[in-house]
Structure 1
Amino acid sequence: MTKLSACIEMLFKAESSDPAQRIHLAQAEGFEAVEFWLWSNKDLDAIERALDQTGVKLAGIVAEPFAKLTNPKTHDDFLRGLEESRDVALRLGAPVLICQSGNNRLLVDRQRQRDALTLVLQRSADVLAGSGVRLGLEPLNDRVDHPLYFLTSTSEALDIMDAVDRPEIGITYDLYHSMVMGEDPVTVIGNRGRHIVHLHIADHPGRHQPGSGQLDLLTPLTALIAGGYIGYIGLEFRPTADTKTALVETRAALAPLMAP
């Protein structure tokens, strides 16, 4: 059965200002997992209690600090932070850490930036080795949400994964960002689905719930699952109304995937 994860940075935000309480709200809506972004601005004791009380799993968190990984000068700081993030993930039971490339350094050759990104991911694999925690580099769109972002191509991200070639490292694949960039997810992933450590979805325009916009999310999700993806599908969208109503629309849009 398809496993959904509620991103509590976006879902249940209007219902509660307390991230720990949002875990309880997610559990009441039938979620078996949640995820969030930064851990350093959360009360981790309260988060841990909420996870224990509800039995909800933590699907993933962000690897801190956010760094411009195309710049080698940021690497040592990122790797020190990755050690802390790994330990937080282990404490809370999160199997995935999410990172981003940072923006394009416009005066620096693109291949040099890509080489720097590949190197820091190889070094990150050594930090995570044996922990069971994986790092997912996330391509983002630069057309709507992240102007000047370096890694907008899923194909390029997968090529980087081929070069890194470590089981600890993969991509966080967000169908919203991919499709906003004009990619066909089935084609762009091809036979490299093994590199996907986590999925995100939202509709377009507006980055709202599935069913609210124009994207066919069902076809690529079906293909990715048929191709062997067994992780969580993170609902990382802005509800157009209250979260409960948005989830009704989401589940209707994803109904063929929700059957046991």
Structure 2
Amino acid sequence: MPRFAANLSMMFPESPFTDRFACAARDGFEAVEFLFPYEWPAAKLADRLSEHGLTQALFNLPPGNWEWGDRGLACRPERGVEFRESVDLALEYARALDCPRLHVMAGLVADRDDREALHTTYIENLRLAADRAAAQGATVLVEPLNPHDMPGYFLASVPHALDVIAEVGRPNLKLQADIYHMQRIQGELASTLADHIDVIGHVQIADTPGRHEPGTGEINYPFLFATLDQLGYDGWVGCEYLPSGGAGSASGWMRDWRRH
């Protein structure tokens, strides 16, 4: 049976962020993930984890200035100093939260950009991040994001992500397999999981259309959960979705599924 982690950036929106740890524990989650923890002191978040008996499964490196449109720094040649600082900050939080996985967002590109320079920068920055993370036993993840929700994102397909992982050549660089994005990019979900399970370091879920909880769209999640079990995947499955209704819709599907 998959182990589910509540994504606190998207779930329980009726509660303040630091109260969502309690919501996750109440609903039966054993772990949490979120996008960016940097607004809150690491010690405060660590206290919330400890108080509610939760594991920190994943969070993202700083993305740059989100309000100004940044969606990651790793491929941007002109943001090298900022990227290196973001790695150091993320690793500091990872130590405080005992978190072994960090997602590195690639960044946005424009038609005028030099693709070769972007690629070279991306590879070099991922090697740097992976090497620094390895020193504290952490895994670095890359995640393809679909061009419908994230137009212009540098890493926009699973094959591209796999090529990058191979070129970087670090054993602690893995694929973050977001089922929602994979479905919108290419489909072929079960075969993609089976073909690349050895490089998958984290899984995330949401249904489509709408990016809501499993059971609200077209994806056959019971089949995919069984597939993950058959493949021997023992990592966390992050619930990165927008609840379709009130508080009960956040995790009611999980309770129903566990009864079967």
TM-score by length of 2: 0.89
Structure 1 residue 72 displacement after superposition: 1.9
Is 1:82 equivalent to 2:54 in the alignment? no
Is 1:148 equivalent to 2:152 in the alignment? yes
Structure 1 residue 112 displacement after superposition: 3.8
Structure 1 residue 109 displacement after superposition: 4.3
Structure 1 residue 246 displacement after superposition: 3.5
Structure 1 residue 68 displacement after superposition: 3.1
| Structure 2 counterpart of 1:242, from 232, 239, 246 | 246
**Structure 2: distance between partners of 1:76 and 1:194:** 32
**Structure 2: distance between partners of 1:159 and 1:153:** 10
Q: Counterpart in 2 of 1:97? A: 102
**Structure 2: distance between partners of 1:100 and 1:76:** 16
Structure 1 residue 192 displacement after superposition: 2.5
Name the aligned partner's letter for residue 58 of structure 2.
G
**Structure 1: distance between partners of 2:4 and 2:195:** 23
Structure 1 residue 251 displacement after superposition: 4.2
**Structure 2: distance between partners of 1:193 and 1:79:** 29
SS in 2 for 1:233: strand
Listed one character per residue, the Cα deviations across residues 189-213 of structure 1 (whole Å, up to 9, x for unaligned) are 4532222221110001110010011
SS in 1 for 2:73: coil
Q: Counterpart in 2 of 1:47? A: 45
Name the aligned partner's letter for residue 112 of structure 2.
L
Listed one character per residue, the Cα deviations across residues 159-180 of structure 1 (whole Å, up to 9, x for unaligned) are 1111112122112111101101
Runs of 4 or more above 6 Å deviation: none
| Structure 2 counterpart of 1:35, from 18, 33, 40 | 33
Q: CA RMSD in A?
A: 2.0
Q: Is the 8 A contact 2:178 2:204 kept in 1?
A: yes
Is 1:201 equivalent to 2:205 in the alignment? yes
**Structure 1: distance between partners of 2:184 and 2:255:** 22
**Structure 2: distance between partners of 1:62 and 1:9:** 11
Q: Counterpart in 2 of 1:177? A: 181
**Structure 2: distance between partners of 1:46 and 1:68:** 27
| Structure 2 counterpart of 1:167, from 159, 164, 171 | 171
| Structure 2 counterpart of 1:134, from 133, 139, 143 | 139
Structure 1 residue 101 displacement after superposition: 1.1
Structure 1 residue 111 displacement after superposition: 4.2
Q: Is the 8 A contact 1:62 1:97 kept in 2?
A: yes
Assess, with a 3 A threshold, how the Cα gap between structure 1 residues 159 and 61 changes in structure 2: closer, same or farther. Answer: same
Unaligned runs of 5+ in 1: none
Assess, with a 3 A threshold, how the Cα gap between structure 1 residues 114 and 159 changes in structure 2: closer, same or farther. Answer: same
**Structure 2: distance between partners of 1:149 and 1:201:** 20
Q: Is the 8 A contact 2:194 2:231 kept in 1?
A: no
Q: Is the 8 A contact 1:155 1:188 kept in 2?
A: no
SS in 2 for 1:11: coil
**Structure 2: distance between partners of 1:137 and 1:238:** 22
Name the aligned partner's letter for residue 96 of structure 1.
R
Q: Counterpart in 1 of 2:235? A: 231
**Structure 2: distance between partners of 1:184 and 1:154:** 11
SS in 1 for 2:112: coil
TM-score by length of 1: 0.89
Q: Percent identity?
A: 28
**Structure 1: distance between partners of 2:227 and 2:239:** 18
Q: Counterpart in 2 of 1:11? A: 11
Matched ranges for 1:101-140 at <5 A: 101-140=106-145
**Structure 2: distance between partners of 1:111 and 1:183:** 28
Assess, with a 3 A threshold, how the Cα gap between structure 1 residues 108 and 61 changes in structure 2: closer, same or farther. Answer: same
Q: Is the 8 A contact 1:135 1:168 kept in 2?
A: yes
**Structure 1: distance between partners of 2:225 and 2:81:** 36
Unaligned runs of 5+ in 2: 65-71
